[in-house]
Chain A
Amino acid sequence: MKSKRLLAKGRLFASSIRSTVFISFTATALLAVAVTGLIFYLRFSNQLQSNIQSENHQLVEQVAQSLNSYLRNMIRLSDSVSYSVIKNRDLDKEPINESLQLLYNNNAATVERIALFDGDGTMLSAVPPATVKAGAHVADCDWFRRALARTENLHFSAPAVQNLFSTSSASYSYVLSLSCAAELTSGTRTRQGVLLIALKYSGISEMFANTALPNGGYVYLLDSEGAVIYHPKQQLLATGLFTEPSLAAAEWSDGSHSLSDAGKRYTVIVRSVGYTGWTAVGVIPNRGLPVGSGQDLLFMFMILLLCFGALVLLNSAISRRLTDPIQNLETSVQQLERGADGKIYVGGSDEIRHLGISIQRLVDQMRKLTDDMVREHEAKQKSELDALQAQINPHFLYNTLDIIVWMIEKGKYDDAVRIVTALARLFRISLNRGKNIITVRDELEHTRNYLTIQQMRYKDKFRFTIEAPEALLDLAVIKLVVQPIVENAIYHSMDFMDGDGLIRIVAEREGDDLYIRIMDNGIGMPPETVAMLLTEHVPISKGSGVGLINVNERIRLYAGAEYGVKIESELDVGTTVTLHLPARPAGEGATT
Chain B
Amino acid sequence: MRTTERIILCCILVLLIAVAALYTAASLGSDRPVPVYRVSVILGENADNLEKGVNSAALACNADVHSVQITNSTPEAQTAALTRELQAGADAVILVRCDAAALSAYLDSHTVPVPIVSAEAPPIRGRNVTNISGDSAALARLLGESVLADGGKGSALLVSEDGDVALDGREEVLAEALSAGGVSLTVATPWDAISPDAPGLLIAADPGVAEQLVAAAPAAARIYCFGYDPSLRSACENRRIAALAVISEFDAGYLALQSAVERIAGDRPADALLLGYLVRGDNLYEPPVSTILFPIE
- Interface residue ranges, A against B (CB under 8 Å): 2-3, 6, 12-13, 18-19, 22-23, 26, 135, 159-161, 163, 170, 172, 174, 201, 205, 234-236, 238-241, 294-295, 298-299, 301-302, 305-306, 308-309, 312-313, 316
Contact of A239 with B288 in the complex, beta carbons under 8 Å: yes
Report B-chain residues with C-beta under 8 Å of the C-beta of A163: 284-285
Report A-chain residues with C-beta under 8 Å of the C-beta of B2: 18-19, 22
Report B-chain residues with C-beta under 8 Å of the C-beta of A23: 4
Q: Which B residue's beta carbon lies closest to that of A315?
A: B5
Report A-chain residues with C-beta under 8 Å of the C-beta of B250: 235, 239
Cβ-neighbour of A238 out of B12, B231, B291 (below 8 A): B291
Report B-chain residues with C-beta under 8 Å of the C-beta of A240: 275
Q: Which B residue's beta carbon lies closest to that of A18?
A: B2
B294 at the interface (CB under 8 A from A): yes
Contact of A241 with B254 in the complex, beta carbons under 8 Å: yes
B22 at the interface (CB under 8 A from A): yes
A6/B19 contact (C-beta < 8 A), A135-B238, A239-B288 known: no
Report B-chain residues with C-beta under 8 Å of the C-beta of A172: 294
B23-31, B149-157, B184-192: which lies at the interface: B23-31
Q: Which A residue's beta carbon lies closest to that of B238?
A: A135
B36 at the interface (CB under 8 A from A): no
Contact of B56 with A235 in the complex, beta carbons under 8 Å: yes
Contact of A295 with B30 in the complex, beta carbons under 8 Å: yes
Contact of B292 with A305 in the complex, beta carbons under 8 Å: no
Interface string of B258-297 (1 = CB under 8 A from A): 0000000000000000010000000011011011101110
A236/B23 contact (C-beta < 8 A), A135-B238, A309-B9, A312-B12 known: no
Cβ-neighbour of B8 out of A236, A302, A312 (below 8 A): A312
A316/B231 contact (C-beta < 8 A), A239-B288, A301-B19 known: no
Report B-chain residues with C-beta under 8 Å of the C-beta of A22: 2, 4-5
Cβ-neighbour of A174 out of B19, B20, B27, B294 (below 8 A): B294
B233 at the interface (CB under 8 A from A): yes
Contact of A239 with B16 in the complex, beta carbons under 8 Å: no
Contact of A309 with B12 in the complex, beta carbons under 8 Å: yes
- Give Cα A234 to B237, complex, Å: 24
Q: Which B residue's beta carbon lies closest to that of A216?
A: B60
Q: Which A residue's beta carbon lies closest to that of B1?
A: A316
B92 at the interface (CB under 8 A from A): no
Supply 11 further A-B pairs (C-beta < 8 A) apart from A3-B3, A238-B287, A241-B251: A26-B8, A135-B238, A159-B296, A161-B294, A170-B231, A235-B52, A238-B248, A239-B251, A308-B12, A312-B9, A316-B1
- Give Cα A205 to B251, complex, Å: 20
Contact of B254 with A201 in the complex, beta carbons under 8 Å: no
- Give Cα A423 to B22, complex, Å: 110
Report B-chain residues with C-beta under 8 Å of the C-beta of A205: 296
Q: Which A residue's beta carbon lies closest to that of B277?
A: A239
Report A-chain residues with C-beta under 8 Å of the C-beta of B13: 309
11 contacts between A and B (CB under 8 A): A3-B7, A12-B7, A19-B2, A19-B4, A22-B4, A163-B284, A174-B296, A235-B296, A239-B251, A295-B23, A305-B15
Report B-chain residues with C-beta under 8 Å of the C-beta of A241: 248, 251, 254-255
Q: Which A residue's beta carbon lies closest to that of B53?
A: A235
Contact of B254 with A236 in the complex, beta carbons under 8 Å: yes
Report A-chain residues with C-beta under 8 Å of the C-beta of B30: 295
Query: What is the CB-to-nearest-CB distance from A528 to chain B, in angstroms, rounded to a whole number?
Result: 71
B182 at the interface (CB under 8 A from A): no
Report B-chain residues with C-beta under 8 Å of the C-beta of A313: 9
B163 at the interface (CB under 8 A from A): no
B230 at the interface (CB under 8 A from A): yes
Contact of B15 with A295 in the complex, beta carbons under 8 Å: no
- Give Cα A316 to B284, complex, Å: 82
Q: Which A residue's beta carbon lies closest to that of B20?
A: A302
Report A-chain residues with C-beta under 8 Å of the C-beta of B290: 160-161
- Give Cα A209 to B237, complex, Å: 32
Query: What is the CB-to-nearest-CB distance from B231 to chain A, in angstroms, rounded to a whole number?
Result: 7
Interface string of B202-235 (1 = CB under 8 A from A): 0000000000000000000000000000110100
- Give Cα A19 to B4, complex, Å: 8
A235/B12 contact (C-beta < 8 A), A201-B296, A298-B22, A316-B5 known: no
Contact of B5 with A239 in the complex, beta carbons under 8 Å: no
Report B-chain residues with C-beta under 8 Å of the C-beta of A135: 237-238
Contact of B12 with A295 in the complex, beta carbons under 8 Å: no
- Give Cα A236 to B288, complex, Å: 10
- Give Cα A236 to B52, complex, Å: 12
- Give Cα A159 to B291, complex, Å: 11
Interface string of B26-67 (1 = CB under 8 A from A): 110010000000000000000000001100100000000000
Q: Which A residue's beta carbon lies closest to that of B52?
A: A235
Report B-chain residues with C-beta under 8 Å of the C-beta of A309: 9, 12-13, 16
A236/B19 contact (C-beta < 8 A), A12-B3, A22-B4, A201-B296 known: no
Cβ-neighbour of B251 out of A13, A161, A236, A295 (below 8 A): A236
Report A-chain residues with C-beta under 8 Å of the C-beta of B287: 238
Report B-chain residues with C-beta under 8 Å of the C-beta of A13: 4
Question: Of B1, B56, B292, B296, which is in contact with the most chain A CB atoms at under 10 Å from its CB?
Answer: B296
Q: Which B residue's beta carbon lies closest to that of A174?
A: B296
Q: Which B residue's beta carbon lies closest to that of A238?
A: B291
For the complex of A and B, 5 pairs with smallest distance between CB atoms: A238-B291, A298-B23, A295-B26, A238-B288, A170-B230
- Give Cα A161 to B292, complex, Å: 11
Contact of B295 with A235 in the complex, beta carbons under 8 Å: yes
Q: Which A residue's beta carbon lies closest to that of B60?
A: A233
Report A-chain residues with C-beta under 8 Å of the C-beta of B7: 3, 12
Q: Which B residue's beta carbon lies closest to that of A320?
A: B1
Query: What is the CB-to-nearest-CB distance from B72 to chain A, in angstroms, rounded to a whole number?
Result: 21
- Give Cα A308 to B15, complex, Å: 11
- Give Cα A145 to B288, complex, Å: 23
Contact of B288 with A306 in the complex, beta carbons under 8 Å: no
Contact of B19 with A305 in the complex, beta carbons under 8 Å: yes
Q: Which A residue's beta carbon lies closest to that of B281?
A: A135
- Give Cα A159 to B53, complex, Å: 20
Query: What is the CB-to-nearest-CB distance from A220 to chain B, in angstroms, rounded to a whole number?
Result: 12
Report B-chain residues with C-beta under 8 Å of the C-beta of A174: 294, 296
Report A-chain residues with C-beta under 8 Å of the C-beta of B15: 305
Report A-chain residues with C-beta under 8 Å of the C-beta of B237: 135
Contact of A234 with B296 in the complex, beta carbons under 8 Å: yes
- Give Cα A179 to B66, complex, Å: 43
Q: Which B residue's beta carbon lies closest to that of A295?
A: B26
Report B-chain residues with C-beta under 8 Å of the C-beta of A316: 1, 5
Contact of A294 with B295 in the complex, beta carbons under 8 Å: no
Query: What is the CB-to-nearest-CB distance from A351 to chain B, in angstroms, rounded to a whole number?
Result: 23
Q: Which B residue's beta carbon lies closest to that of A310?
A: B12
Query: What is the CB-to-nearest-CB distance from B71 to chain A, in angstroms, rounded to a whole number?
Result: 18
Q: Which A residue's beta carbon lies closest to that of B7?
A: A3
Report B-chain residues with C-beta under 8 Å of the C-beta of A26: 8
Q: Which A residue's beta carbon lies closest to that of B16?
A: A305
- Give Cα A16 to B16, complex, Å: 29
Contact of A234 with B26 in the complex, beta carbons under 8 Å: no
- Give Cα A205 to B56, complex, Å: 14
Query: What is the CB-to-nearest-CB distance from A326 to chain B, in angstroms, rounded to a whole number?
Result: 15
- Give Cα A135 to B236, complex, Å: 13
Report A-chain residues with C-beta under 8 Å of the C-beta of B288: 238-239
Query: What is the CB-to-nearest-CB distance from A302 to chain B, in angstroms, rounded to a whole number?
Result: 5
- Give Cα A489 to B13, complex, Å: 93
Query: What is the CB-to-nearest-CB distance from B242 to chain A, in angstroms, rounded to a whole number?
Result: 16
Q: Which A residue's beta carbon lies closest to that of B239?
A: A135
Report A-chain residues with C-beta under 8 Å of the C-beta of B22: 298
- Give Cα A239 to B255, complex, Å: 12
Q: Which B residue's beta carbon lies closest to that of A159?
A: B296
Report A-chain residues with C-beta under 8 Å of the C-beta of B8: 26, 312
- Give Cα A313 to B250, complex, Å: 65
Contact of B26 with A239 in the complex, beta carbons under 8 Å: no
Question: Of A13, A236, A240, which is in contact with the most chain B CB atoms at under 10 Å from its CB?
Answer: A236
Contact of B296 with A239 in the complex, beta carbons under 8 Å: no
